[in-house]
Amino acid sequence: MTLQERDKKHLWHPLTQHKIHPEALPIVKAKGALLYDENGKEYIDGIASWYTAMYGHCNDFVLQRAQEQMQQLDQIVFSGFTHKPAIELSEKLIDILPDNQQKIFFSDNGSTANEVGIKMALQYHFNKGEKRNTIIAFEDGFHGDTFGAMSASGLSVYNGPFEDFFIDVQRIPTPNKENFEYVMKELFEIITTYDVAAFIYEPLVQGANAMHMFEAEYLDQILQVCQGNDIITIADEVMTGFGKTGKNFASEYIETKPDIISMSKALTAGFVPMAITSCTQEIYDAFLDDSVGKAFFHAHTYSANPIACAVAIAGIELLQSKEIQENIQRIITSHQGFNTKIKDHPKVKTTRQKGIIYALDLNVEMDRYGKKRYEIFNHFMQKGIFLRPLGNTIYILAPYVVTEDQLNQVYDSILDLLDTF
Ligand SMILES: *Cc1c(COP(=O)(O)O)cnc(C)c1O
């Protein structure tokens, strides 16, 4: 039996309607910006495997650190014990996070990082004797698939069976020049009508919402109003974190700093799952008390796994290296060049870029998981390019180690697509 046949026997894939799409492509190897299938065919990983493997797949430097750590300490309960990789990671991370971030809390993935952020915010108010139970979130935001994170996600077209069990969320549109007054009016109305505990948002780029982008200055004013009303601000940097917007964190573009930041995806350089929720000293202090009951009673078995921490430290060192920083600037410039070439193409509706994130909307209507979308996906795969269109949006978020030649192949495959329909 082939791998594909054996896959079908027992495996259930995420975001997959198995009746329509029974086949999954086996990938046997990955290195740098390349993926290899069973037949040795190469694919350029144009989205860094969901923005995780930003320093390249199976990066040798990260691999060596993982190996060293695996031989030293594999796993230890993080409640009552500590270890050097977690301590070192906390120091390195606090160094590059916005100045007001002081404490870091571990979990396993982007959804749980947000879950932790939401629970911290709710308990922050609870511990102060205030009952606040409403969360504000953007329309069409995405924060993950666990219950709290799913409730906050506006992209909930497929959440029908669960909606009756969601936590209370009020939504505002992402702000722009035209709607800004309306957004602020809505915000004030929500704040005066409900007991709002927190505002959760993806700063500047909404990944799952087809790389929708918006301006820092408007978001800044929303954050100011929230913080003026003791509403905890939670920046979901799970997608935007670790250099993708051209700065280490998108929050650096915004004057008002968030109280809480959630991160995952590129945190561990694509090697293993881990997530972190950071917060200010003020949040942390609200959990200090002579009573155990005010502590944050949230744990995951693998919290701060030493191997994951060692890998994350290696990732941050790479992010700060001259080579990666130069690569980021190079990719930004290349995307700008491509954009000049393509933005007025009749088949292109709009284009946008923030840092190394580049997206274009095709001039056709398309369902997010419709037939046309799969045709476009297959067009790229045939050419040895892994891009994952979101409806009529095609976006590039390649690893920082992608070469100019590989980038040009990605650009050419998009130009080819435009000529074929
Ligand atoms: C991917 C993502 C999540 C969810 O992370 P998982 O690791 O898939 O649970 C949350 N927020 C944003 C912005 C993301 O891109």
Strand blocks (E) in 270-341: 275-279
The CATH class, in words, for 3-59+322-420 is alpha beta
Angle at 374 between CA 371 and CA 378, to 5 degrees: 140
Q: Is residue 186 a contact partner of residue 172, using CB atoms and an 8 Å limit?
A: yes
How much is the pLDDT for 172? 98
In the chain, what is the straight-line distance between the N-terminal and C-terminal CA atoms, in Å?
37
Query: Do the domains spanning 3-59+322-420 and 63-319 agree at the CATH topology level?
Result: no
CA of 265 to the centre of ligand 1 (A): 7
How much is the pLDDT for 5? 94
How much is the pLDDT for 156? 62
How much is the pLDDT for 363? 93
Q: Which atom of ligand 1 is nearest to the CA of 206?
A: 13
CATH of domain 63-319: 3.40.640.10
Displacement of CA 349 from its chain's centroid (Å): 25
* Amino acid at the residue 5: E
Q: Is residue 219 a contact partner of residue 185, using CB atoms and an 8 Å limit?
A: no
* Residue whose C-alpha is closest to residue 324's, from 81, 118, 61: 61
CA of 267 to the centre of ligand 1 (A): 12
For ligand 1, atom 15: residue with the closest CA:
239
CA of 394 to the centre of ligand 1 (A): 19
How much is the pLDDT for 139? 95
* Residue whose C-alpha is closest to residue 355's, from 242, 262, 270: 242
Separation in Å, CA 387 to CA 50, 213, 360:
10, 19, 12
Q: Is 321 helix (H, G, I), strand (E, B) or coil?
A: coil
Domain range annotation of the chain: 3-59+322-420, 63-319
The share of the chain scoring above pLDDT 70, in percent, equals: 100
Compute φ and ψ for 63, nearest 5 degrees.
-60, -40
How much is the pLDDT for 157? 65
Q: Which of 47, 50, 143 to mutate to test the pocket of ligand 1 (most atoms within 8 A of CB)?
A: 143
CA of 147 to the centre of ligand 1 (A): 13
- Residue ranges of the chain with per-residue pLDDT less than 50: none
Q: Which residues approach ligand 1 with their CB closer than 6 A?
A: 109-111, 114, 142-144, 202, 207-208, 236, 238-239, 264
